[in-house]
Amino acid sequence: MSQTPSTPLRFVHAASVGDTARALQQPGFIERCVDAYEAIGFGTPSESEVRSWRNSWPPLVDALVRAGLEDLWIHLEFATLDTNSRMDALLLGRGENGLAGVVVELKQWSRAAPVANNLLRVPGDEKPATHPVAQTAGYMAFLENWFESDTVELNVRGVAYLHNADREQTAEMRNAAPPALRVPVIGRDDVRTASGSAELRDHFLCGDLRGVGEQDLKQFAEARWRAGARLLDGVVAALRKEPSFTLVGDQQTAFLDIRATVDQRLRNDGRRTFVIVRGGPGSGKTVLAMRLLGDFLNEPAVLARYGTPSGALTRTLRETVGVPGSAPLFQMPRNRVKDCGLMIIDEVHRYRRFSGGFGSYVLNNLADVPVVVVFLDERQRVRPSEGVTEKEIRDIAAGADSEIDVVVHDLNGNFRCNGSREFVAWIDDLLYGTPRAWDAHDYDLDVTENPSSMERWLAERVEEHRAARISAGFCWGWEEVRLGEELPGVVIEWENAHGDTQQWHRPWNLHKQHTVDLAGGSVGPESWLWATQEGGERQVGCIYTAQGLEYDDAGVIIGPDLVRRGDRWEAHPETSHDKAMRGVDTDQYLDFALNTYRVLMTRGMKSCRLYSTDEETREFLRSLMPTGRR
């Protein structure tokens, strides 16, 4: 009998393998699974996803029935804590050592060619795909590190099943699998030629498993899903040994005060507190957030959690920590959070304004969290659909059913831009106040004549083993292109001193399918990791992939959406290719444009080069530079 999914477990279908085999024969089964998918909150499945269910579920279930595994329990589309990640199938069975969970990653591929970085190229699909062994290992790490029960252990296993792949292709996939991962790959011929049910059971790592009972299912359903001690210790160690997470000055003051606030709130009657940490670019907001997470993460009474609306920052932190199974600790803030004493929300100015906005999130999804710390810079709001202000946070706290205390800390230091307060003040004067000449000597700032000279400067920095990146305003398209076609990019033309037309063209914001070329060579990292991974210097980044991150040297291309005319800045939203700006009027767009370029100009730790595509604006910027450096 199929079960209705219940929190915290989320899945499209769950039943015994035998019952599932019979359900697959019934009319409307797939349609009911679509309804369940939507009811759980996964969204609406795409046509290709539904097609994969129709094509992949029957071969799996048929093979399990042939293996005599009808009494095993099967979950289809089983969600991890991050609901964007779902296991194709999760089998539950009982073995000699207790309950076992077998992750099955299903692929319809009949052919797939290995390319760079554990990626595969599947014919007919332009996007490189992650090797199914790596996918399976990731789900296994989640189960191993997040399943917690006082009554049952979960022995975790995993297998990749390519039900259309022949023996030759399956062998190639095995050879291309990451060598350290303990995940077998089986294909169509392995299943067809199995000598009997025993061999088939072994193929799916179920040779020692029998069916589960009601008590097993109850124990699995009632288990807690939270990070285990080993995982937390690994993440804490990674955070504490990271030298860039060291605190100084007002970071340390804020850290000690927030610690005291958390301790006090966990000892008293449950009164809630919002802590607002204000700070400009490079003031150390993310560093402080990581230090708070590292200190509180494995304290049983606190169990701190971290979230940021920035996808680029989320991906970068997961890569930085690099502990298998730790991805759910770094989340986009949207899901309900329980068993947590401290929720840290970084880059809260990026929070999207929909479905009740930030107020609905903190009052509903974080209703059980006594202390919420938010990191805020109101001048980093760059989209009309985003943004939270201090006033809004105070209004939310005052309007709650039980009033919430608000505490504010300011981070006034500057740990970016060579520690130059003068540079950050100069940028703010340039964009929001009265521009003035640059005459400080504690930061390397200049204006370039064209993008080629900017790129030559960048190449020199890269030769010095520095991380140098060029970013640009969103004044060029980011259209999808087919594999092998010219990549979308930033294209700029200008005339040289002899009147000849010059052109500079670089790809930007690479989609996953463009990170490797037709021969399997690396073009560069995916856009979300452009700012921090090797090869990012070969593409141009934008505001959405740079915000919250930093690098040694920053080149900034100011597009035609922001120009200087006389004593003021003018916005030209009609030149923007950012879909988020559709319908935004000129005055609104000016605010967003100024904030956008402020963010881009303050990413560089050691130097910055500015270039405007508009000659009058470029001349204005040059006039602010020291005469001897023009």
Residue 391: predicted pLDDT = 95
The mean-pLDDT minimum among 32-36, 204-208, 311-315 falls in: 311-315
| Banded pLDDT at 161 (limits 50, 70, 90) | very high
Question: Given a cut of 90, is residue 267 above it in pLDDT?
Answer: no
Three-state SS at 69: coil
> Which position has the token pair 């014919």?
123
Render 262-319 in DSSP notation, one character per residue. Answer: HHHHHHTT---EEEEEEE-TTSSHHHHHHHHHHHHTT-TTT--EEE-S-HHHHHHHHH
Question: Which region, left, alpha or beta, applies to residue 332 given φ > 0 means left and ψ of -120 to 50 means alpha?
Answer: beta
CB contact at 8 A, 433 and 439:
no
Mean pLDDT calculated for residue range 343-362: 88
Residue position matching structure tokens 């370029």: 597
Which of 1.20.140.90, 3.40.50.300, 1.10.10.60, 3.30.420.40 would CATH assign to domain 229-411? 3.40.50.300
pLDDT, mean of residues 142-152: 86
Q: For the chain, what percent of residues have pLDDT higher than 90?
A: 47
> Looking at residues 45-54, what average pLDDT do you find?
94
Do 78 and 130 meet the contact criterion of CB atoms below 8 Å apart? Answer: no
**pLDDT the model gives residue 285:** 87
pLDDT band of residue 410 (cuts 50, 70, 90) is: confident
Residues forming beta bridges with residue 405, ordered by sequence position = 273
pLDDT in the model for residue 341: 86
Residue 414 pLDDT class (50, 70, 90 cuts): low
- pTM score of the predicted model: 0.76
Any idea which residue has 């399990």 for tokens? 64
Label residue 59 exposed, middle or buried (CB < 10 Å: 0-12, 13-18, 19+): middle
Average of per-residue pLDDT across 200-219: 94
Inform me whether the pLDDT recorded for 629 exceeds 50: no
Instruction: Decide if pLDDT at 483 tops 80.
Output: no
Q: Cα-flanking dihedrals φ and ψ of residue 471, to 5°?
A: -125, 165
Is-contact 582 415, C-beta < 8 A? no
Which of 14-28, 143-157, 314-328, 492-506 tops mean pLDDT?
A: 14-28
Q: What percent of the chain has pLDDT over 70?
A: 92
Q: How much is the average pLDDT of 8-12?
A: 83
Residue 447 has pLDDT above 70, yes or no: yes
Q: Is the model's pLDDT at 156 over the cut of 90?
A: yes
The Cα 57–Cα 116 span in angstroms is 30
- Pairing mode, strands 604-612 and 551-558: parallel
Report residue 266's pLDDT band, with 50, 70 and 90 as the boundaries: confident
Half-sphere exposure of 115 (CA within 13 A, CB side): 23
Specify burial of residue 469 (Cβ count, 10 A radius: 0-12, 13-18, 19+).
buried
Domain regions of the chain by residue span: 13-225, 229-411, 417-629
Q: Which residue has the higher pLDDT, 90 or 293?
A: 90
List, for residues 102-136, the tens digit of each pLDDT value: 999 999 998 888 776 677 878 777 677 888 998 89
Mean local confidence (pLDDT), 301-325 = 85
Check if the beta carbon of residue 328 is closer than 8 Å to that of residue 340. no
Least Cα distance to 206 among 70, 320, 46, 339 occurs for 70
pLDDT per position as a tens digit, 248-261: 667 788 888 888 88
